[in-house]
Structure 1
């Protein structure tokens, strides 16, 4: 009895300590963007939504700034980048010099901010052929009851998109169970609708009997389930537990472990670790992941994803089964969300037809989508 009581007090302490840790309910996300191309100029305009999700707490934003990074096939460091932020507050006038005025976001409300990104370089005859992606980091300070907190988020903007994959039988990769076509896309982001992406890039290729597969990480990215590790403050618990995992595990770093703790709570993670460690003494492995929940297996720490998301921690997708059901209704093709790697591990997270799961697990062992920079988040599987 004293042992059980001590454990209950310990877990209660973990939960209370976790709930009082610094965290902000102020979210900044992109909602629209547009790209205008010229020979030696790229002009991007867009809008950010700033939401205060607290029901009773007002938060101030004394500072906000953007940083632009460009991705392409050549050295782009010499390009000139001009960034402007234009607030759209209904209750405050803007400064003519574009400097940010500290603003109060009232509880359970939102405001919007426009931004423009102007990229130029006269030395490039065709700038758009060299720049494929823009990554925008958003830095801001929120000021309120929990203090002065530095935050950041980021999002990708496709500048150019690849040529649609051709519908030729020679492009399909054959194995014992099926033929598979990796479909190249642009780097997906939070502004992409994954169903529309599938529809666009598989148009004129897919047959009614095919199965369309999307990777769990790209799907999760379109849902906004990623964040920079700078926004995580690892607890002592995370720093201790992460040391017991294999160095290649996404839970082997303090930030990776803290990401899991933030998702499922410190008590569940600690309980799963204790039971998992005890069962390991009897050579029974894998129970930590079973007890800690699905996210324990799906979290990708930094370097685990295609750039520019290799700088972020990516969680598993939200409601993959619901996504498959909705995609099937709209597209009329069987859809699956799969987590596969180069080690031959295949996990079907969800599918529109469960009877197809055994086929998917066998056909995807070779991981035809790859884990590198292939930019093929979609596969078309054509059964024999």
Structure 2
């Protein structure tokens, strides 16, 4: 009898050790970054343009952000989409992908050999694009996808880095078209398609400062600013979890949270517990006759996320988050240009939300000046609005 009891205790201890060991392994796994290889779009420029030929060159970076893990890159290739107001059927696009490792020269035949990126190290990839054909001057935007395979502790994981490069720039010196509003004159400023290559202050210097005067106000849409900051997610990289797949059905079809990927993007930002309890709180407030409780409880990003189709091509293929630290952006604009500034979210329903504004700007003034949405919600490509308050 004593032997049976002792045997039972031993078996119990062994099972407990196995369970605790499995839990420890799982916790250790969850703490590991896996194939944490950061894609950095780098620098891009048109290097030659003549007649029916256009050459574009870029230099992108892959950075191993892990502390102690090596990540291999066995394969890299690229493809591109050209956006234009005319047909692109007669335009050919050749892309050369060239390894630019510090410690190994590229192969002359263009073959990409598997390369090991050590922890906290980086490597570069040069891309040469050769476009040829008629009507190249009508091209508006190049959307390039760099497809690279990562191989490491996380397994064999394909990834894609996106580069959006504008090919047309409007005339910054063109006469402004001022619109008269209740308390101000406003000028929706047309720009090139904004990308990660841009800086908000430089955009303002290029397109706004030629027309601005002392006392004017600059507003920038929250989505264009988020795009400049690179706050985009390819839905392919979003892995909807149990909560996102179930809660998304409870949102209106027009909401950016009505898809599993859109809601998972919010969960990735603020955490599953907050989203779950915001949902329960929102239901409770709805029963008490109060709408919008979920969005108040889930945080600002819940209102700002734009799901697929929410903005201009090619960004309509992405989930766009709200901008990061908009207050710092407007403070910098005022410091470097001398003009007051605000980051706003405006729609065609006369709803104006001021995300951030310099200290001298009353929100009510901005709401009145912008409630007709002078920037538009279609393809106007006017992400900046210059406001000139009336003195009388």
Same fold, TM-score > 0.5, yes or no: yes
User: Radius of gyration: which is bigger?
Assistant: 2
Cα-to-partner distance string for 1:85-141 (whole Å, 9 max, x where unaligned): 1111112231111121111111122111111110001xx2x52x2112111112122
How has the CA–CA distance of structure 1 residues 264 and 173 changed in structure 2, closer, same or farther, with 3 Å as cutoff? same
4+ residue runs over 4 A deviation? 18-24
Partner residue of 2:153 out of 130, 145, 160: 145
Q: What is the alpha-carbon distance in structure 1 between the residues aligned to residue 379 and residue 155 of structure 2?
A: 40
Deviation at 1:313, TM superposition (A): 0.5
Cα-to-partner distance string for 1:314-350 (whole Å, 9 max, x where unaligned): 0011110001111111101011111111121111111
Query: Within 5 Å, which residues of 2 pair with 1:149-228?
Result: 149-164=157-172, 166-168=174-176, 171-228=177-234
CA contact (8 A) 1:167 1:204 kept: no
Task: Report the equivalent of 1:33.
Answer: 44
Deviation at 1:77, TM superposition (A): 2.4
- State whether structure 2 residue 56 is matched by structure 1 residue 48: no
CA contact (8 A) 2:150 2:157 kept: yes
Alignment length (residue pairs): 363
CA contact (8 A) 1:42 1:119 kept: yes
Q: What is the alpha-carbon distance in structure 1 between the residues aligned to residue 143 and residue 380 of structure 2?
A: 19
CA contact (8 A) 1:153 1:227 kept: no
CA contact (8 A) 1:165 1:184 kept: no
Q: What is the alpha-carbon distance in structure 2 between the residues aligned to residue 298 and residue 25 of structure 1?
A: 27
How has the CA–CA distance of structure 1 residues 175 and 328 changed in structure 2, closer, same or farther, with 3 Å as cutoff? same
Deviation at 1:19, TM superposition (A): 5.2
Partner residue of 1:332 out of 335, 338, 351: 338
Deviation at 1:243, TM superposition (A): 0.6
Cα-to-partner distance string for 1:158-184 (whole Å, 9 max, x where unaligned): 11211125345xx11111111110110
Deviation at 1:23, TM superposition (A): 7.0
CA contact (8 A) 2:96 2:129 kept: yes
How has the CA–CA distance of structure 1 residues 355 and 81 changed in structure 2, closer, same or farther, with 3 Å as cutoff? closer
Query: Within 5 Å, which residues of 2 pair with 1:273-352?
Result: 273-352=279-358
TM-score (norm 1): 0.91
CA contact (8 A) 2:77 2:147 kept: yes
Query: Within 5 Å, which residues of 2 pair with 1:108-119?
Result: 108-119=120-131
Comparing 109-118 and 244-253, the one that deviates more: 109-118
Equivalent position SS for 1:355:
coil
- State whether structure 2 residue 78 is matched by structure 1 residue 79: no
Q: What is the alpha-carbon distance in structure 1 between the residues aligned to residue 104 and residue 275 of structure 2?
A: 45
Deviation at 1:353, TM superposition (A): 2.7
Q: What is the alpha-carbon distance in structure 1 between the residues aligned to residue 130 and residue 288 of structure 2?
A: 61
Cα-to-partner distance string for 1:200-256 (whole Å, 9 max, x where unaligned): 001320111110111111111111100210111111211101111010000000000
Task: Report the equivalent of 2:237.
Answer: 231
Q: What is the alpha-carbon distance in structure 2 between the residues aligned to residue 196 and residue 243 of structure 1?
A: 42
Unmatched 5+ residue regions in structure 1?
1-15
